[in-house]
Chains A and B, each alone.
Chain A
Amino acid sequence: MEWKQKIFNQLQERNRQERDVYAEIVKHYNRLTENYSTILVRCTDQERDILTLRQENTDLQKNSVSVAGLPVNDKIKTLENDYMKAKDEILTLLRERGDMTKEVISLSRLVKERDEKLYSEQNRNQILTKENVSLRQRLESAEDQLSALKKVNETIHDEFQALQLAYTQLEERQKELDATIAVLRQRMTEKIEKKCNALDEEVKLHEKRMEEDVKRKLEEAKSDFMTSTLSNLMTSTTASITHLRNANLDGKAHLTPTIDFMKVIIPKKAIVKWDCGDNELHAIQFHPSGSLIATGGSDRKIHIWELNAHNNQVQQVYVLTGNNSTVTAIDFDNENANLILGCSEDFACRVWGLGDQRLRHTLTGHGAKVFCAKFVTATLIASGSQDRTLKLWDLQNRQCVRTLFAGSKCHDLVAHDASGSLISGHFDKKIRFWDARNDSTKCELQLQAAVTSLSINREKQLLLACSRDDTLKLIELRENRVIQTFSHDDFKVASDTIKAVLSPDCAYACAGGNDGSVFIWNTTNGKIEKVLNKEHSSIVNAVAWHPEGRFIASCEKQRRAILWGE
């Protein structure tokens, strides 16, 4: 490739000639021109400066020409003097300036101290004002409290005074009332005394009359005994007998002659059947006169029926209300025959007057159902209840005077004597004999089953107890010994309150069974005398014997009462 080599050589030669020779020279030349131009610039600047300086110089020379009056030396001296004076002035001024700065420093320090004091004083002031405010507030609140308390004190004072006045008034009233009470009491006692005296006199008169009457009649009766009808005798004698009975029951337990002037018969058939009340019948009782029958049951009322002996009809006379629950037992008082006692399951016994049918007394105090209640005297009632107590109530004070704790439910009780000694039959198979003087049992008799009812004869020698073992027991009271037991195959004691009664002459015992039959036993030999059945359809709850012995009244659970007779 010699052409290429030739080209290359030519290029190198060219470059050498054109570039290498002149490169350095041109570079240096350019640098020289640059330097030259900068020097030119500086030169022009300096020329300008020189011009200005020359101008100033000429100006100064012009100025100095005006001062040229003085020769130059003097000029210089005056200038020097001026200069010295100026220097001295400067020195003094500087010294003064130093002093003033010192003063300034001290003054500023003082000012700072004063400021601090002022600041602390302000703080104290603030604190004190705050305390002042708070104290004022407390003072206000204390004053408010004080005024409130004063008011309260005043009101209390006023109230106290008013109460005091009222108290004094009441005291006076009380004194007055006491006085009146005393007066009234005195009057009452006087009246009662009078009444008692009057009664006593009456009784005595009556007794005398009766004695004479009786003697007369006895003689008549002896002669007419076999011929005249019994009923006539009964009617004529029952009245006399009641009077006699009444005369006998004057509070003494003594054995009266056993001659009965009534004729106790065994009924053969049902004479009257009637429905009384709306529900179950629990109690039935004859009035001591025998003309009234009282029934009580679960309708809470005691119905009084009049027995017309001539045509054997029973009519309702009136109804005694007041009980709040089922009537469990009824008793008539035997002395005056104008009070009726009913005890019910509402834990209370009530006494009504028969004449006016008014509820006289309500005896509350038992804690459970009252199962039985009897008049001990006309003013003393004994009641026994499910709450295992017996209570004696005084009708004059209307208070319970004694509470006997039996320990078991009392199903029935009888009054042994007028002083308050009782016999009670209980659920725990015991018959308890209570003493009148103390609250403990005199004696206890154990039976085989729970005692449902008790019945005592007029002479208070024999006690009939009906017990749940389907038997009746006859107990002799002198030795407290069971002398007879009555039972029958069909006789079943259905509940705890089945009542059994002795006949007025104690010849017979009667009880009702659970199948509706009424059983009559002979007390002397213990045999069943009569079974009256087919009339009652349910349990016979209670039976009662007519005081003259002619009728038996029985009531059953299904509100039917039947009068049995000849």
Chain B
Amino acid sequence: MSTSSIDDKDITRELWQSRLPICFILSDEDMSKVNRSESPEPLYLMLSRHSYFPCIIEKIFRYYSTYYKGNLNDQTNSINLNNLWLEYESIPLKWHYPIGLLYDLYTSSLSSSSSVSHLPWQIIVHLSKFPENELIRFPDIESIEAHYMTTLKEADALKHKGQIIGDMQKRDHKQLWNSLLQDKYEAFWNINIKLMSYTDNLQYFRYIPFRIYILDKPFMQKLFSPYDIEQNKWMTLYDLLQYTLNHEVQCEKLANEKKILNNNIENYRVIIHGVQPPLHSPIQWLSEYFSYPDNFLHICLIENQMR
């Protein structure tokens, strides 16, 4: 689809410069174990929406560990990094979701339409009582990088049967991840532009990589082509959602689920990157320019509350 390049670059730049103010507060039971006379102040950080929590976990850890030392000159840490976990409104936060996705999913559903009053996003830092059942412990930075690469390859598999990601060299993969860590827009999009190209003489991706998240449900991912060959028209966001919800309902029915999903799109607010894009936006364009850095469209569906 030929679009004016100025607008696209502006949009992607705006996306890249997204920041969320987050306030990390130590939990109460951990607060009591502080080894110092004064209690730690909350930690305020501006984090980018497309980053991941494990990237800044070292920082959080170092900040709180000072309060647990015997004296200020003690170099050893008495708290364990592995026991650290984050929580919002008593929901343990999964570490392999992008930060923006987590915010959109949890804050939007818990309140009314505007999500303004939830800033800064207050997350509670726990240093003990790790919920073994619900979370995997925070990994090191290499595991996060591996997860990111896996997601990227899956996206490219859907789009180009994995050809482009397979042809790219290892240092290009490294450059993608490092520019994501170091917040380098130009370096990232130099490589990412290759992943947005077309193959097999198509003018679009083979399938759109997307995931649809609804609260308390596992995410939905379907095979969806951005272009309808029979009807010879471009698919929109509405078409994608419709198709996915219907397909999911069918699956639930087949599985004899008790509670069936509401597949009326009117009942949902569609949020990507914290904004609600028009439902008639072409899905191909959305996938090219509105994806997360892992090339997936993470779409949140927030049920409209009955007022």
Are A14 and B274 within 8 A (Cβ)? yes
Task: Kindly provide the distance from the CB of A477 to the nearest chain B CB, expressed in whole angstroms.
Answer: 152
B280 A3 Cβ-Cβ under 8 A: yes
Residue of A nearest to B236 (CB): A3
Q: Is A4 close to B, CB under 8 A? A: yes
Q: Is the CB of B119 within 8 A of A10?
A: no
Q: Number of residues in B with C-beta < 8 Å to the partner?
A: 35
> Are B44 and A8 neighbours in the complex by a CB distance under 8 Å?
no
Q: Which residue of A lies closest to B282 (CB)?
A: A3
CA distance A36 to B7 in the complex (A): 45
Structural contact, B19 and A23, CB atoms closer than 8 A: yes
CB of A29 within 8 Å of the partner chain: yes
A interface footprint on B1-40 (CB within 8 Å = 1, 0 otherwise): 0011001001100110111110000000000000000100
Contacts of A26 in B (CB 8 A): 21, 44-46, 120
Q: Who on chain A is nearest to B36 by CB?
A: A40
Contact A7 B11 (CB under 8 A): yes
Evaluate contact between A8 and B18: CB separation under 8 angstroms. Answer: no
Is B218 in contact with chain A by the CB < 8 A criterion? no
Q: Out of A11, A21, A23, A27, which one reaches B11, CB within 8 Å?
A: A11
Q: Is B95 at the interface (CB under 8 A from chain A)?
A: no
When C-beta atoms are compared, the residue in chain B nearest to A7 turns out to be: B277
The answer, among A7, A8, A22, A33, for a CB contact under 8 Å with B21, is A22
**What CA separation (Å) do A559 and B44 show in the bound complex?**
164
B-chain residues with CB within 8 Å of residue A6 when the two chains form the complex: 277-278
The answer to whether A1 and B7 have CB atoms under 8 Å apart is yes
Give CA–CA (A5, B6) in the complex, Å.
12
Q: Is the CB of B3 within 8 A of A19?
A: no
> A18–B66 contact, CB under 8 A?
no
Chain A CB within 8 A of B148 CB = no
Which residue from A23, A25, A37 sits with its C-beta under 8 Å from B66? A37
B120 lies within 8 A of A3 (CB): no
- The answer to whether A3 touches B278 (Cβ under 8 A) is yes
Is A10 a contact partner of B72 (Cβ separation < 8 A)? Answer: no
User: Is the beta-carbon distance between A18 and B14 smaller than 8 angstroms?
Assistant: no
Q: Do B7 and A10 have beta carbons less than 8 Å apart?
A: no
Asked whether any CB of chain B lies closer than 8 Å to the CB of A92, the reply is: no
Which residues from A are CB-within-8-Å of B4? 1
Tell me if A15 and B18 are in contact (CB < 8 A).
Answer: yes
User: Inside 8 A of B71's CB, which chain A residues have their CB?
Assistant: 44
**With A17-B119, A18-B20 given, is the CB distance from A23 to B46 under 8 Å?**
yes
Name the distance in Å between B105's Cβ and chain A's nearest Cβ.
Answer: 15
Q: How many residues of A contact B (CB 8 A)?
A: 31
Option from A12, A22, A27 in Cβ contact (under 8 Å) with B120: A22
| Residue of B with least CB distance to A22 | B21
> Nearest-CB distance from A48 to chain B (Å)?
9
Q: Is the CB of B18 within 8 A of A14?
A: yes
**Within the assembled complex, what's the spacing in Å between the Cα atoms of A212 and B276?**
210
Find the B residue at minimum CB distance from A44.
B72
- B118's nearest neighbour on chain A, judged by CB, is A18
How many whole Å from A243's CB to the nearest CB in chain B? 162
B52 at the A/B interface (Cβ < 8 Å)? no
Nearest to B17 among chain A residues (CB) is A15
A12 x B14 contact (CB < 8 A): yes
Task: Indicate whether B85 reaches chain A with its CB closer than 8 angstroms.
Answer: no
CA distance A19 to B44 in the complex (A): 13
Query: Complex Cα distance A30/B45, Å?
Result: 8
Q: How far is the CA of A27 from the CA of B46 in the complex (A)?
A: 8
Contact for A4 among B3, B19, B20, CB less than 8 A: B3
Contact flags B59-74 to A (C-beta < 8 A → 1, else 0): 0000000100001100
Picked from A10, A21, A40, A44, the residue with its CB within 8 Å of the CB of B275 is A10
A10, A13, A41 interface centre (most CB from chain B within 10 Å): A10
B223 at the interface (CB under 8 A from A): no
Instruction: Given A19-B18, A23-B46, decide whether A14 and B275 contact each other with a Cβ distance below 8 A.
Output: yes
- Is the CB–CB distance between B18 and A3 below 8 Å? no
A4 to B236, CA, bound (A): 13
Q: Which residue among B4, B274, B276 has the maximum number of chain A CB atoms within 10 Å of its CB? A: B274
Contact between B281 and A3, CB atoms less than 8 A apart: yes
Q: Report how far A12 CA is from B277 CA in the complex, Å.
A: 13
Report the nearest B residue to A19, measured CB to CB: B19
Complex: A389 Cα to B180 Cα, angstroms: 145
Roughly how many angstroms separate A40 CA and B38 CA in the complex, as a whole number?
Answer: 10
Interface presence of B273 (CB below 8 A): yes
Query: Would you call B273 and A11 a contact (CB within 8 A)?
Result: yes
Q: Is the CB of B17 within 8 A of A19?
A: yes
The 5 A-B residue pairs with the shortest CB-CB distance in the complex, in nearest-first order: A22-B21, A10-B275, A19-B19, A3-B278, A3-B281
Instruction: Name 23 interchain pairs, CB-CB below 8 A, sorted by A.
Output: A1-B7, A3-B278, A3-B280, A3-B282, A4-B3, A4-B11, A4-B281, A7-B277, A10-B277, A11-B275, A12-B14, A14-B18, A14-B273, A15-B14, A15-B19, A18-B18, A18-B21, A19-B19, A19-B46, A22-B46, A26-B44, A30-B45, A33-B41
